[in-house]
Chain A
């Protein structure tokens, strides 16, 4: 649980940290995040040298390697603009774990300073942009899966649903045990595939049982996991990153 965060007024410029999963697997989601921010009159700077936040190594226990990769990101955001991350998982890594990862190193102060400027995309759209949306899509029943990192590490259980609630034609359906993990957990999914498989099976069934015609999430790890499970058993239910969903329905 994070403390109450004081949000700044909407800035003219922001940085986007696109995350490695979006870069490689779901690039449209990253571009849609840019489009949403630009529509709000915010210039988006995408530092070209960004790669990965370092989380996969961090959670696997390889902190030297994680620190080296994280260090390479610290220099990419020299101006005092907010850093927008379209993922609660990577956002949580940067906001909550960078300070401890760099504790006692020469980069500690800079890591803290960067961490303080990190905002998850939906958080920024709700609390800083005060986004209004005009829904142009057809009526649809949608389930939201909020990632565990967004929900617990960043304290953002409400921002995703709050954005979907702004779409007039969208009915947000409640799934059973919505706060339960989908079973991704980074390398957990491959180190404990059976347990992870049982978790994602339950999650995907809960989304289907809620009567959803689509599910949306703000984390591509969860998206890859849940959508992958649904596709594996030939379900027609598809998932989408919330940035793409919002952009698609309002552009």
Chain B
């Protein structure tokens, strides 16, 4: 049976994590998928000087961000010169309204969508539905997730939480497709179901992987051809993206593309790489008559104001951080309850939703550093997780909405006591001495720790004392 419809929220992270951990199917699906993806990535970079390439990728992104306001203006000017109409949205709500208006102006009732996480971020489909416009996801994973009334559990592979049997069930229940374990047959069925909609859709909505400022080009990376159909078959194409996706030069794209596909799926190239630079020209046979670009801020310019948090915006959305995250691998994407799950979600979502809603996400990491190690643009994810923890427990003066939300007197007092002890060496030595003397009385149950592990016992003698004895024995 397919999974029942469920809504996930970041506030319920603990409960959702518990449910995921107790669900052997989810555990197995994610473990298998993430092991596969990690292996593919490793292989894809085999013959590459990965560190040099990552350094290059990081520098391209940093250079673009350092000139972000100028590059956005340049992008707008060049897009407009190419005939692409550019719109600015301060938040998701505004972006949804802009897109709805464009649809309504064309009397659209049917929208076909290429994969776009920004559209997920602003709940575009629900917004369009309210306006009586039917939006259909055309990326296979997104299509399945939409059929199952779920949200993506991974930013690159939206239906990675489902296995073949579950997908067969969903397609059977929602579209009447014969139950089968033949992946090709299921893909063919979905393809047939989608094909019709490409031809009849009034508007195509897509995301953008890289927006090139110097040429006004929108780059779209995909494997299924659905992106190309979405952006060429309907008479109107609306591309929607976050303001951070801009790069300066066309020459910046190949290194980022090389990093993106290898980091994401271990591919050397994707099946399709689309470069959209204008609507259909007079002498062209196909392509949309109108192309729009909607640039969404949604808190990004606030992130931009902070020299450290700024690094969050380097992200090229490859998903490698989640593929390598031991927490994500165990709890899956839905547990995070946010559009972007995993490590990148934990450092990005607090800016989009505020720390009040997302306060459990930055702490949901052992800071093992696997995410930072594989990030193709070298985002110091662990450092940013620590920064957000600091914002959450701090005095509320910070660049993140909801700063100070986790501050508790009890915890502050505990750390202050620890500080006092650790800055008074005499007292510290006394404390270790006392702990050692009374070790028999040490509790064997320490709350959450002893749920899964035996309690550590204080040693009889501290290292301080052992070394003193050792020196005496040596006659020092």
A51: chain B residues within 8 A (beta carbon): 421-423, 425, 428
The answer to whether A228 touches B454, judged by C-beta atoms less than 8 angstroms apart, is: yes
Q: Identify the stretch in B116-124, B159-167, B266-274, B455-463 within 8 Å (CB) of chain A at 4 or more residues.
A: B455-463
The answer to whether A24 touches B432, judged by C-beta atoms less than 8 angstroms apart, is: yes
Q: Chain B at the A interface: mostly helix, strand, loop or mixed?
A: helix
The answer to whether A228 touches B455, judged by C-beta atoms less than 8 angstroms apart, is: yes
Q: Pick the contact of A181 from B370, B390, B393 — CB < 8 Å?
A: B370
Cα A227 to Cα B416 in complex, Å, equals 30
The answer to whether A191 touches B447, judged by C-beta atoms less than 8 angstroms apart, is: no
The answer to whether B467 touches A25, judged by C-beta atoms less than 8 angstroms apart, is: no
Question: A24-B432, A51-B422, A62-B415 known; A192 and B453 CB under 8 Å?
Answer: no
State the Cβ distance, A54 to closest chain B Cβ, in Å. Answer: 7
Q: Pick the contact of B463 from A18, A52, A198 — CB < 8 Å?
A: A18
The answer to whether A192 touches B364, judged by C-beta atoms less than 8 angstroms apart, is: yes
Cα A151 to Cα B367 in complex, Å, equals 12
A186: chain B residues within 8 A (beta carbon): 366-367
A99: chain B residues within 8 A (beta carbon): none
B368 sits at the interface (CB 8 A): yes
Size of interface on B: residues with Cβ below 8 Å to A: 62
Which partner residue on chain A sits nearest B474 by CB separation?
A: A38
B98 sits at the interface (CB 8 A): no
The answer to whether A57 touches B415, judged by C-beta atoms less than 8 angstroms apart, is: yes
A131 sits at the interface (CB 8 A): no
A184 sits at the interface (CB 8 A): yes
Total A-B pairs in contact (CB under 8 Å)? 188
Which partner residue on chain B sits nearest A73 by CB separation?
A: B422
The answer to whether B386 touches A57, judged by C-beta atoms less than 8 angstroms apart, is: no
Which partner residue on chain A sits nearest B54 by CB separation?
A: A1
Cα A56 to Cα B454 in complex, Å, equals 21
B83 sits at the interface (CB 8 A): no
Q: Chain A at the B interface: mostly helix, strand, loop or mixed?
A: helix
The answer to whether B452 touches A24, judged by C-beta atoms less than 8 angstroms apart, is: no
The answer to whether B326 touches A199, judged by C-beta atoms less than 8 angstroms apart, is: yes
A152: chain B residues within 8 A (beta carbon): 368-370, 372-373
Most central of A23, A61, A181 by chain B CB within 10 Å: A61
Interface residues as binary, A17-60 with B (CB distance below 8 Å gives 1, 0 otherwise):
01010111111101100100000000000101111101011111
Size of interface on A: residues with Cβ below 8 Å to B: 67
Most central of B331, B373, B449, B463 by chain A CB within 10 Å: B463
The answer to whether A193 touches B330, judged by C-beta atoms less than 8 angstroms apart, is: no
B18 sits at the interface (CB 8 A): yes
The answer to whether B366 touches A185, judged by C-beta atoms less than 8 angstroms apart, is: yes
A180 sits at the interface (CB 8 A): yes
Interface residues as binary, B420-435 with A (CB distance below 8 Å gives 1, 0 otherwise):
0111010011001001
B418 sits at the interface (CB 8 A): yes
A195 sits at the interface (CB 8 A): yes
B373: chain A residues within 8 A (beta carbon): 1, 152
The answer to whether B461 touches A27, judged by C-beta atoms less than 8 angstroms apart, is: yes
Interface residues as binary, B1-41 with A (CB distance below 8 Å gives 1, 0 otherwise):
00000000000001001100100000000000000000000
Q: Identify the stretch in A7-15, A64-72, A114-122, A205-213 within 8 Å (CB) of chain B at 4 or more residues.
A: A64-72
Most central of B14, B370, B449 by chain A CB within 10 Å: B449
B365 sits at the interface (CB 8 A): yes
Q: Which residues of B contact A (CB under 8 A)?
A: 14, 17-18, 21, 51, 326-327, 330-331, 363-370, 372-373, 386, 388-394, 412, 415-416, 418-419, 421-423, 425, 428-429, 432, 435-436, 447-459, 461-467, 470
Q: Which residues of A contact B (CB under 8 A)?
A: 1, 18, 20, 22-28, 30-31, 34, 46, 48-52, 54, 56-63, 65, 68-69, 71-72, 148-149, 151-153, 179-181, 183-201, 224-225, 227-229, 231-232
Besides A25-B457, A48-B429, 11 other CB < 8 A contacts?
A23-B462, A27-B466, A31-B466, A59-B389, A61-B394, A68-B423, A71-B423, A148-B370, A181-B366, A192-B14, A196-B452
